Amino acid sequence: MSVDTVETPAAGSTAAAPAPSRPRRRGRRVTPYLLVLPAVVLELLVHIVPMLVGIWMSFVRLTQFFIANWSQAPSAGLDNYKVALDFSGPLGKSLLHSFGVTLAYTVLVVGVAWLFGMSGALVLHRSFRGRGFLRTLFLVPYAMPIYAGIMTWSFIFQRDNGLMNHLVKSLGLGDGESFWLVGNNAFASMAIVAIWRAWPFAFLMLLAGLQNVPDEVYDAASVDGAGIWKQVRYITLPYLRPVNVVLVLMLFLWTFNDFNTPFVLFGPTPPRSADLMSIHIYGNSFVSWNFGFGAAMSVLLLLFLLVVTGLYLFLTSRRSRRA
């Protein structure tokens, strides 16, 4: 991204500037903190405090008998975690299954959405007639209200009158009587909807990133005889690396935590093949009224994401330092 290019002149100008007076320097020191203060306060209120409450909940037996008076809930010690991580027990087994489904869903959605976004950005980066129209069209799924978009898909996936079965039958790919919202096909339906929603974001980010690749580099490469694939591999992708580091992380976290897609498509209890972690936790908390256990699963999910994110940032930053 452009961060590097900004950093150098800024650092240079600081070094060249005359030493500021003491009060001015103090003002400079305080200003950034004042600027981030509202964000920090809101972050604490909206995310950190509920998160801490959630961690506390995971250590107590917060069932229907205590939800009216949380403080009276007896301590559960590590019991909620033991149940969640006992993969031979029914609840642990279903959590493990949900984790597997979520992982497969995330890999598929992030991979395909990135590929679509990259392809779209590469095509629409060059100027041609109708480019503006196509750019707008591709952004429609991203601009559309989430629920409205997913509900439209749920109509498309209906067995009797849905467009999907109609299409399958018209193309001679099947008898047009498949279930898309029930059984194993539910996973594919959910992934299709998520890719449809996620890829315009990847497209937008990558398109913006492409603006920073100087045309001269491509010109020089083509003079040297590099074809389109070589240009993509040796120029475009390295230039887009900073964008991709952030983009893939964002898509990963959003998709892994996706709640809206299964909830709107299937309701609070999705088919087994589409039992993503977020909705699995919701089901255990709100449908089965076992909030302590739901919180324990949330904490496990948080730890997993923290570890993955930490590893990802560590590996990507090490590679960029080496580069």
Partner 1 sequence: MKIRLWCASFAITAVAATAACGNGDSGSSESGGGGGGGDAKTLTYWASNQGATLDVDKQVLGKELAKFTQQTGVKVKLEVIGWPDLQNRILAATSSGQGPDVLNIGNTWAASLQSTGAFMPFDKAALDAIGGQSKFVDASFKTSGMEGKDPTSVPLYGLVYGLYYNKKMFADAGLQPPTTWEELQAAAKKLTDAGKGTYGMAMEGGSYTESIHFAFIFGQQHGADPFTKDGKPQFTTPGMVAGVKQYVDLMSDGVVNKSSVQYKNGPEAPGDFAKGKAAMLMSQNNADNTLQADGMKSSDYGVVAIPTKSGNKDTASFVAGINMSVFKDTKNKDGALKLVKFMTSPEEQAILDKPFTALPVVKGGTVNFTDNPAEAKTFADILATKSVPLPLVPAEAAYETNVGNAVNGLLAKAATGQKPSEADIKSALQEAQDKMASAG
Of 127-156, binders to partner 1 (CB under 8 A) are none
Q: Which stretch binds partner 1 (CB under 8 A): 118-126, 188-196, 211-219, 300-308?
A: 300-308
Task: Copy the structure tokens of residue 316.
Answer: 């990507």
Task: Copy the structure tokens of residue 229.
Answer: 């694939």
Q: Looking up tokens 């589409």, which residue turns up?
A: 274
**What DSSP letter does each residue of 75-118 carry, written as one string?**
B-TTHHHHHHH-TTSHHHHHHHHHHHHHHHHHHHHHHHHHHHHH
How far apart are the C-alpha atoms of 286 and 269, rounded to whole Å?
11
Distance in Å, CB of 146 to partner 1, minimum:
14
Q: Does position 289 bind partner 1 by CB under 8 A?
A: yes
* Three-class DSSP category at 60: strand
Q: Residues 90-127, buried b or exposed e (16+ Cβ, 10 A)?
A: ebeebbeebbebbeebbebbbebbbebbbebbbebeee
What residues have CB less than 8 Å from 149, skipping those under 6 apart? 141, 193, 196, 197
How far apart are the C-alpha atoms of 271 and 189, rounded to whole Å?
12
Q: Which is nearer to partner 1, 29 or 129 (CB)?
A: 29
Q: Which is nearer to partner 1, 43 or 219 (CB)?
A: 43
How far apart are the C-alpha atoms of 245 and 247, rounded to whole Å?
6
Distance in Å, CB of 285 to partner 1, minimum:
4
Q: Does position 272 bind partner 1 by CB under 8 A?
A: yes
Q: Which of 60, 101, 181, 205 binds partner 1 (CB under 8 A)?
A: 181
Distance in Å, CB of 145 to partner 1, minimum:
19
Interaction pattern, residues 25-44, with partner 1; x per rule: CB under 8 A: ------------------x-
Q: Which of 31, 136, 212, 288 binds partner 1 (CB under 8 A)?
A: 288
Distance in Å, CB of 197 to partner 1, minimum:
17
Residues 42-71 that bind partner 1 (CB under 8 A): 43, 46-48, 50-51, 53-54, 57, 61, 63-65, 67-70
CB burial of residue 49 (10 Å; 0-12, 13-18, 19+): exposed
Distance in Å, CB of 108 to partner 1, minimum:
20
Distance in Å, CB of 250 to partner 1, minimum:
7
- The β-bridge partners of 63 are 290
Distance in Å, CB of 243 to partner 1, minimum:
10
- Total residues interacting with partner 1, rule: CB under 8 A: 75
Q: Does position 179 bind partner 1 by CB under 8 A?
A: yes
Q: Does position 182 bind partner 1 by CB under 8 A?
A: yes
